[in-house]
Chains A and B, each alone.
Chain A
Amino acid sequence: MVENRPLLSLLTHLVLILGVVIVAFPVYLAIIAMTHDAATLNVSAPLLPGGELFNNVATVWNFDPPGLPPFWLMAWNSTLMALIIMVGKIVISILSAYAIVYFKFPFRMVAFWLIFLTLMLPVEVRIIPTYEVIANLGMLNSYWGLTVPLIASATATFLFRQFFMTVPDELMEAARVDGAGPIKFFRDILLPLSRTNIAALCIILFIYGWVQYLWPLLVTTKEDQFTLMMGVRQMAGVREVEPMWNIIMTAVVLAMLPPVLVVIFMQRLFVKGLVESEK
């Protein structure tokens, strides 16, 4: 809607600014808290930055309290988990989308709908049976247990399917005439054409993997498998001791950093992948 009413646009801006403040203020508090020492933070929440930033970061990096693995190990676990989920999801979904779009096999539509159904059953809904399966397979406390159940989902399959449907059939026919079999066609033509889509999905899926909390909490009981999301939560939950807010907030901000960096640096590719379907 394009309207020229100054009062109305003032009002809409006020609402938007209010929204931004509500969302951004806690983040701001965390960033500020990361620059103060524990004593200051236990008294009040300051609004202006202090001088303890480098101290805090150095402390957190080597932080190794009882009951928790060192910070760097948790960061490593989180990174590995996010990367495995990202790669696994893309590989599985692009292959299944290829099968569904380009091959005629019995029960093709049934297969498609079964995949589609999993969209409606997120991990949280099927968490108990999934846990049972993973436990019986002996995958608790392993990277496989952490990632495999999260890899199976339909979002990416669906996205690739939609993209493949926009690729003109003649391209496949031309490839057939040119002597390219199904694997060559996939590797030489479909994969390069999906480049931007893959990039966009990489970002979404990396973040999806990075922020997982509930599932890692369930399947990991050994310290050395803990992820950042769990670790940060547990730092704040230590009994009998005053919470060390400066350390916690620094850990929070550091944990937030990778997704933010990914988005900032890959934003162009991300938007391109979602908007433009290269023909």
Chain B
Amino acid sequence: MTNIEISNVRKVYAGGVEAIKGIDLSIADGELVVLVGPSGCGKSTLLRMIAGLETISDGTISIAGDVVNRKEPAERDIAMVFQNYALYPHMSVRGNLEYGLKNRGTPRDVINARVEEAARILEISPFLDRKPRQLSGGQRQRVAMGRAIVRQPKAFLFDEPLSNLDAKLRGQMRIEIRRLQRTLGTTSVYVTHDQLEAMTLADRLVVMNGGQIEQVGKPIELYDRPASLFVAGFIGSPPMNLFAVDKLKFAAGSTFPQTLPTGTGIVGIRPDSVVLGKNQPGIQLSGMVEMIEPVGGESHLYVRAEALGQVVTIVVQGRPDLHETSAIDFVLPHDRLHPFSQETGLRLGDHATHGAGMAVAQA
């Protein structure tokens, strides 16, 4: 049973810069938690604090019930996969896989068995005697993963492990990491800035911003009920449409809903929730198509709505019979609107799912 408890953790650098501003998070046994956020949001710092590569300024981190604040990385029994793989260049693949086990004085036959097993799982058996520089990026990535799994650690920590791969390999490795983590059932923390990677990998997603947690939850929950404007903008591609409420009210006229919570300053809607056409329940708008991006199975329309004075992004299935400069009508269904407060940037209404309290409750 490996659960990771992070309570009130802060990181203050020597110059007084506060990189992590008090974070509470509990990660359950066998769970894959993804930390996601823009660069500089502190996600990597938090991961490195769990690994023991950064000191903890305040608060505690415990792994499997042990407070590890003062423990060396090796004593925490975690394995880390680095962004640039950090393979030992002068050692063969086998040497790389063995190194951590050798340092722990593991018996030779156990080492051999574990290395063979890891190589088989990751399909790197043919390369065991090669040097890292003779491998392709994807193969190096596998070796880096292998180095983590041979140790059979309490937890895996991934620091943007796929960002040096090309898009196709990234997709492939993402699936493999997911499958591997499921099979081994090892508690994992995964850092990425790629929201698609985050959505598809995570059991639970932690969106971070400015050294704090914005929201914690299942990926789909975060997509359906973003707790703040930041999460709304960060999760989902293309990003959510956001409108100032006065303008929308003016443009919508009588079709504006009466049910929005009081204090709503900004209203958001996902591009895939907007419906083309007229005479359907919801806010009736019209505009002119400025640009069409045919992605394949779906198309992204960028429609300039004169009444709103801004461009609305709409995702439609298939390839609509439209061209640039076409005039179209579209509807924003009332039940798909996301109300936010202008001042705090937080979601309004009963469904609000914000804050660290959520994280604890979920765990």
Q: Which residues does A use to contact B, with CB under 8 Å?
A: 168, 170-171, 173-180, 184, 188-189, 192-193, 195, 278-279
Contacts and interface: CB of A to CB of B under 8 A. Distances in A.
Main secondary structure of the interface of B (DSSP, over half): loop
A178 B84 contact: no
A171 B74 contact: no
Contact of B84 (A168, A188, A192): A168
Given A171-B88, A193-B89, A193-B90, A179 B82 contact: no
A279 B103 contact: no
Given A176-B74, A188-B99, A279-B89, 15 more contacts: A168-B86, A170-B83, A170-B86, A171-B88, A173-B53, A173-B73, A174-B86, A174-B87, A174-B147, A175-B99, A176-B72, A177-B73, A177-B74, A177-B80, A178-B99
B104 interface: yes
Given A173-B53, A173-B80, A174-B80, A180 B86 contact: no
Nearest to B157: A177
Contacts of B52: 176-177
Given A178-B100, A180-B103, A173 B86 contact: yes
Contacts of A173: 51, 53, 73, 80, 82, 86
Contact of A170 (B73, B82, B100): B82
B100 A278 contact: no
Interface residues of B, number: 23
Nearest to B87: A174
Contacts of B86: 168, 170-171, 173-174
B104 A179 contact: yes
**Which residue among B73, B87, B104 has the maximum number of chain A CB atoms within 10 Å of its CB?**
B73
A45 B225 CA distance: 98
Interface of B: 51-53, 72-74, 78-80, 82-84, 86-90, 99-100, 103-104, 147, 151
A130 to B, nearest CB: 39
A180 B100 CA distance: 8
B103 A174 contact: no
A193 B53 CA distance: 22
B103 A177 contact: no
Contacts of A179: 74, 100, 103-104
A170 B90 contact: no
Given A173-B82, A174-B80, A179-B103, A278 B73 contact: no
A67 B78 CA distance: 70
B325 to A, nearest CB: 52
